[in-house]
């Protein structure tokens, strides 16, 4: 058989096979048309839902961030001297308690309205801080414990540091020591090892345990030579009785 004939037969076989496959595909498509339409519709709906969810979350984040900025401005507002009237265009408060009360209300509103946003985590931290300032240690502990369990290590560390202060205020020294030791063992950008060490040493000083405080101050000096924290530790050592 000539080469051209064999080539022609191969092309015919390929063409027939291709046509048959195409016909079967068309036949299958016709038979399953409704299923294909349904599947396509599901894909579109899922994609639309994902886009809508993303847009909703972005919108929520934006709103939460805006309100968080407002709450921070409240927290940092001026305290007016006694007898000085408020200025209409300048945020101010007559006392630190009034300022903390208003800031706490604003931070709590963010937590309630936007619970799944990043800003809500920071808002909960400040809600705990302001609750502590207002003497509500139970609320402060609840909020700060929540933030302390965050996967964001810097925010978690800040919450643990603040939680230690709440424990100290309520005479729960063992809990406070545990918080400081956790921070010393795992320092972060927001709470460094030396910061936690100095606070722990200060706690021991308050509880009249100068030897424990002395040990920590000396450790700070050794680990941070020729630094500001080393100078602070030296002055603390000089003042120990």
Euclidean distance between CA atoms 145 and 2, whole angstroms: 87
Q: Which two tokens stand for residue 182?
A: 């956790």
The reply to whether 220 falls in a domain is no
Average pLDDT score over residue span 86-115: 91
The reply to whether 4 falls in a domain is no
CA atoms within 13 A on the CB side of 18: 6
**Per-residue model confidence (pLDDT) at position 63:** 86
Tracing tokens 């994609």 back to the chain, one arrives at: 47
Average pLDDT score over residue span 68-93: 87
The reply to whether 81 falls in a domain is yes
Euclidean distance between CA atoms 200 and 188, whole angstroms: 16
The reply to whether 226 falls in a domain is no
**Per-residue model confidence (pLDDT) at position 17:** 46
Residue 43 in this model has a pLDDT that exceeds 80:
no
Residue 41 in this model has a pLDDT that exceeds 60:
no
Residue 223 in this model has a pLDDT that exceeds 90:
yes
The reply to whether 179 falls in a domain is no
**Per-residue model confidence (pLDDT) at position 22:** 45
**Per-residue model confidence (pLDDT) at position 64:** 83
Q: Count structural domains, the chain.
A: 1
Q: Tell me: the pLDDT tens digits for 173-203?
A: 999 999 999 999 999 999 999 999 999 999 9
Residue 92: helix, strand or coil by DSSP?
Answer: strand
Residue 36 in this model has a pLDDT that exceeds 80:
no
Percentage with pLDDT > 90 across the chain:
56
The reply to whether 83 falls in a domain is yes
Q: Which domain holds residue 105?
A: 33-134
Average pLDDT score over residue span 51-66: 68
Mean pLDDT of the chain: 81
Average pLDDT score over residue span 205-232: 93
pTM strictly above 0.85? no
Contacts for 6 with CB less than 8 Å, ≥ 6 apart: none
The reply to whether 114 falls in a domain is yes
**Per-residue model confidence (pLDDT) at position 62:** 84
Residue 240: helix, strand or coil by DSSP?
Answer: coil
The reply to whether 21 falls in a domain is no
Q: Which of residues 224 and 48 earns the better pLDDT score? A: 224
């Amino acid at each position: 058989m000539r080469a051209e004939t064999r080539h022609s037969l191969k092309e015919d076989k390929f063409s027939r096979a291709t046509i048959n496959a195409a016909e079967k595909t068309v036949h299958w498509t016709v038979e399953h048309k409704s299923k294909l339409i349904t599947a396509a519709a599901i894909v579109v709906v899922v994609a639309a839902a994902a886009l809508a969810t993303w847009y909703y979350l972005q919108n929520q984040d934006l709103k939460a961030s805006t309100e968080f900025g407002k709450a921070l401005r409240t927290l940092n507002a001026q305290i007016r001297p006694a007898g000085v009237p408020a200025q209409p265009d300048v945020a101010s408060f007559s006392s630190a308690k009034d300022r903390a009360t208003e800031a706490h209300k604003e931070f709590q509103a963010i937590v309630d309205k936007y619970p799944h946003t990043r800003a809500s985590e920071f808002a909960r931290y400040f809600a705990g801080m302001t609750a502590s300032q207002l003497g509500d240690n139970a609320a402060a502990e609840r909020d700060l414990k929540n933030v302390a369990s965050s996967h964001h290590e810097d925010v978690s560390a800040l919450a643990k540091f603040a939680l230690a202060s709440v424990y100290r205020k309520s005479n729960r020294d063992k809990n406070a020591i545990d918080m400081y030791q956790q921070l010393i063992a795992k320092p972060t950008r927001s709470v460094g090892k030396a910061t936690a060490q100095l606070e722990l040493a200060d706690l021991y000083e308050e509880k009249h345990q100068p030897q424990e405080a002395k040990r920590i101050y000396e450790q700070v000096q050794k680990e941070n030579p020729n630094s500001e924290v080393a100078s602070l530790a030296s002055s603390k050592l000089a003042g120990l009785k």
